[in-house]
Structure 1
């Protein structure tokens, strides 16, 4: 919180580097439309606006230096840091503004920003720039004041410029080379309050010493196994819609719908899956119902590694998993993919466990929490949104 107080008090270039300064001290409320003069419909600012609007709102574009949405202090104005033009627009949906700067020399701009960050650090503000909101694009730089806007914009080709030497860029994020040494360009949005991009390097692994949190005192209850799809179908018959609606036809197994998405995509062989079947009713004049997938597995480590990557990619997008995405429940040599919480509860009674790779996950006492075959994931029967009754 010290960084936020300093930046809010000084109202300097901190409006470029952290959301808090602009929201708490350096950014007046968005003016009414009548008080903002729209910038020209042509030119670099308008081109930047058109690009930004593909990913976020950027309304009421103004190039007036006295627009009350413009950050005060040492924000680079036209003529400074090689900047030729500066404008500002509003993302009212995400309750923030986007300042746009058009440098004549992008390398010079990055060098000046780096120098400013290092000067702040040498002046005693060692945390300055850790929460950079300097998003570098092709021919322009965007400075969103809202973390939500920044998260939306990094889905484009815009990249966060960070020049604090201690700033993290966790694994799983794009890393690109900037025009200056010892800085980074990435799609990782850091935020002190945890509202930024998830750090995918910090899942809670139960592999440490001592008693495992949530681990039954008697040890593992084991995992189910089956030697064929037929055995797996019989095993899960009471939990899934497999008795009357079942198919191993490749075309049927490849079906997914707007409500049901499997974990395994494409050829099952590339996921370590040796056999595959579909339970439930595919669409036939009506929406699909109760779709689940059964897998026999020849390479469980490969399946879990691929499922981990898919789960983290889904989570990285907005910090939560899609409701339509199936969860992977595994046994010794078998797996089930389903997005039905009630079906998963039945499968937990059969000792299947869910592969959970989300950062910060832990299970309370009484639930199972065991190591998976891939680093950074756990096997569990605890779902925070759907705890067992």
Structure 2
């Protein structure tokens, strides 16, 4: 499925209000053809070489070295107009720390429906195509900032399901210092309950269901540990989480199992299994792309280059294989830059949006970079080639700051 938009979630630091904006990637991030992208890249390379020659000559006079300049990058101004705004004020609380997370409910409807939650666990679903806001039931337990969020499409189900886990599993349990999760859980799923005669609209059947937390949180001496990477594997109904800290390794969560007696041919399984003591070789979320049979994400060490990984070896208990790593094509000129948030969005037809929010530690300057890239198989050796299209940079010099790209 081809995505028509990239969703930008901004926050106005003066009012605290969040806004959802939709960016057309065909206009802002891609040239009309791959050949156009190659021609622009060649021109930029020649211009950079000429600039380097001038800079090096000037630097030599001053007995100083100058870094190679980054490729040409255009400004993303003005931002697209908001299509919806969200007040994050928690119900029943006097504090207002903003929204903790914002995620797509897909992939069945791709970029049209989004879900967000505030610090109190209040959740809202917004359908951008229909212009409808639906107040959802609250989470049983707030999941903290930027939790693990993965959408699953169950076979023959009418709606997608969104699985959400605290980035530090067991954190709330540790605070309560109790022996079991009770009705609370660091792991829940948003799913649509079957319609009934009391529900005219099937969307009114949405609700959160607590799930069993990963088993390692009950191990003796466990301290809440950050989940470093996560994705969907197998037939698209299995979640995978991983951490290279405190000996956790990699775990999978099977959401369904075959059941011939059920009307859908399957039933919920909701079981964890330990896959290996090794960690997944990417950082944060990876996206599976069927046409390449690879998962695309970001390599763990900074500056977190784009990478492609084969996770199929996990079926045999073997560590995954990294197939490709592409060095950053849009490295900022600031020497101390650090990516603080990044996401790769599969736009379909081999095209992707690579989004990074970047901080320059010395100056405190923050900005976001959105880059359109295209992946193709080389006709000769079937290797994977990347073609860079456009890059847009948005400086956080106005009240509106980009928080998430989804």
TM-score, normalised via structure 2 length? 0.22
* Structure with the higher fraction of residues in helix conformation: 1
More relative contact order, 1 or 2 (CA 8 Å, 6+ apart): 2
* Structure with the higher fraction of residues in strand conformation: 2
State which structure, 1 or 2, has the greater radius of gyration over its C-alpha atoms: 1
